[in-house]
Homo-oligomer: A and B are copies of this chain.
């Protein structure tokens, strides 16, 4: 079956979870109709143009010959029509041709591109991140030359950190940059796992490359960021000669076959021409602009693939007849309680992850400026970004795997499509910082932000939701109030424990990082879904029955994991750190 963009669902969560209602209430140029129009149009494009390319991309992959990549049939046309319609520019600065719409709205669009095709969606994410970094840190000349085309999507961008010895440990990178006489630099070295490092979608590719100057300090503090165009750009803006960079090979991967993952070689002929972005040795800070947006976008990939897997499984379960549910002569498998549980798990996890990601984007939108509210929103964005990335991509895999299961034997047959979602989903927990790195970022850097006040403020907000649910006392909510209350209690106690360990017993804190992130996503997701149920109950058109059912299922069947996660965090560390004897062979 094909993907149908869930525009109404998305609009609901955007308005109620991501603070877009607040934005709208504050007036300004953006109205509710504009938001709906953008979502409708994006949904149409994702459904009609991109979704049909997904299986084609999986089958064709990206053949590599003589240094060139051929994208799958139809991809170039689709990309150009996508960029031509302005989709690359949704939340990029107006000054450079962007539409300057909220990140939250772009987040919704990114989800839809990735539901339609993860292999397609990941390319533009990097271009958007590169444009943001260049807008924030680039020189005026660099911006004039490259930014309009990166904003429009006429050229695509890449993000190049990884080297064979430098994966999660980016400070170990060795690619070299030396100063040239004309103010530019010459780059030599090798980068691996470079997404969309080479392709034929656009006439030029702008590589954003981390490298090290000869006199740079060791580690993270000696890394600089360079813009390295595939084709040099003449003074008049026309494309010039080929730069000294090439793709050496393309990886053979488990999934996202249509996303060319390249090994890039710099400096076969003395060094590629690169231009410094930001200051020397401050490259990691610039890259973090790209990376935070990319992390949220990868979280949205998790949401997108989970949504698509859920849609396909649900449609199959409604059509496939097998066995008899109680009292029926012949039943679609959706009627069987065990299948219902799988489908509700898929739906509830997907909705929770969506709410977390959109809220993160909303926090980014609120973080501009110097007001106290902006600062608080900035802290909120920092806190939620690793959760948005890791929780959403973990559940993306789980939901895609359940989608295979709902299909039974058909799920294991490639033509069905369910297996592709699982193959594709698997990468999102790895790239842009593995989910382990996200958990460590959350536990060791984000939780202690401002002495813990950022996380404490968030917990207070979750408690307010809990109180509202308990006050509503609608029988259809079942034990939702009690279960989310317990989950928030667990998160609260685990947070207190964590804050007491980060300095004194970092190994213990680190051992609990992954279950802590899961607990955080579980408690936050449960509260957000409950909040959506309350909002739906308040407005007639909110389809309250469906939202209440999702919130209730999540609370009673998923949020109940919170207690076990809490114990694993607060009492499991010694068993982790003392496990050498079991890890010798």
Hey, which bits of chain A sit against chain B, CB under 8 A? 6, 162, 165, 167-169, 172, 192-193, 251-255, 314, 321-323, 326, 334, 336-344, 347, 397, 401, 404-405, 408-409, 411-415, 419, 422-423, 426-427, 429-431, 434-436, 439-440, 478-479, 483, 506-507, 510-511, 513-515, 543, 545-550, 552-553, 555-557, 560-565, 567-568, 571-585
A167–B6 Cα distance when bound, in Å, is: 31
Asked if residues A577 and B426 are in contact (CB atoms below 8 Å), the reply is: no
B residues less than 8 Å from A321 (CB atoms)? 165
B residues less than 8 Å from A564 (CB atoms)? 560-564
Asked if residues A436 and B405 are in contact (CB atoms below 8 Å), the reply is: yes
A564–B506 Cα distance when bound, in Å, is: 28
Name the residue on B nearest A9 (C-beta).
Answer: B585
Asked if residues B582 and A550 are in contact (CB atoms below 8 Å), the reply is: yes
Q: Which of A427, A511, A563, A576 has the most CB of B within 10 A?
A: A576
B residues less than 8 Å from A561 (CB atoms)? 561, 564
B residues less than 8 Å from A579 (CB atoms)? 340, 343-344, 549-550, 553
- A341-B576, A478-B574 given; 11 more Cβ-contact pairs under 8 Å: A165-B321, A167-B408, A336-B510, A337-B507, A337-B576, A342-B436, A344-B575, A404-B426, A405-B430, A405-B434, A423-B423
Question: Which residue of B339, B419, B511 contacts A340 across the interface (Cβ within 8 Å)?
Answer: B511
Asked if residues B549 and A254 are in contact (CB atoms below 8 Å), the reply is: no
Asked if residues B435 and A577 are in contact (CB atoms below 8 Å), the reply is: no
User: From DSSP, what is the main secondary structure of chain A's interface residues?
Assistant: helix
Asked if residues A408 and B422 are in contact (CB atoms below 8 Å), the reply is: no
Copies in the complex: 2
B residues less than 8 Å from A172 (CB atoms)? 322
- 7 interchain residue pairs of minimum CB distance: A545-B581, A549-B582, A337-B511, A254-B419, A560-B564, A337-B510, A338-B436
Question: Which residue of B322, B543, B575 contacts A557 across the interface (Cβ within 8 Å)?
Answer: B575
Q: How far is the CB of A404 from chain B (nearest CB, A)?
A: 6
Given contacts A322-B169, A507-B337, A582-B546, contact A409 B422 (CB under 8 A): no
Question: Which residue of B338, B511, B560 contacts A510 across the interface (Cβ within 8 Å)?
Answer: B338
B residues less than 8 Å from A580 (CB atoms)? 549
Asked if residues A431 and B409 are in contact (CB atoms below 8 Å), the reply is: yes
B residues less than 8 Å from A334 (CB atoms)? 583
Question: Which residue of B510, B548, B549, B582 contacts A344 across the interface (Cβ within 8 Å)?
Answer: B582
Given contacts A426-B422, A561-B561, contact A575 B478 (CB under 8 A): yes
Name the residue on B nearest A317 (C-beta).
Answer: B583
Asked if residues B436 and A254 are in contact (CB atoms below 8 Å), the reply is: no
A422–B506 Cα distance when bound, in Å, is: 33
Q: Which of A255, A434, A514 has the most CB of B within 10 A?
A: A434
B residues less than 8 Å from A413 (CB atoms)? 251-254
B residues less than 8 Å from A336 (CB atoms)? 436, 510
Asked if residues A193 and B435 are in contact (CB atoms below 8 Å), the reply is: no
B residues less than 8 Å from A404 (CB atoms)? 254, 426, 430
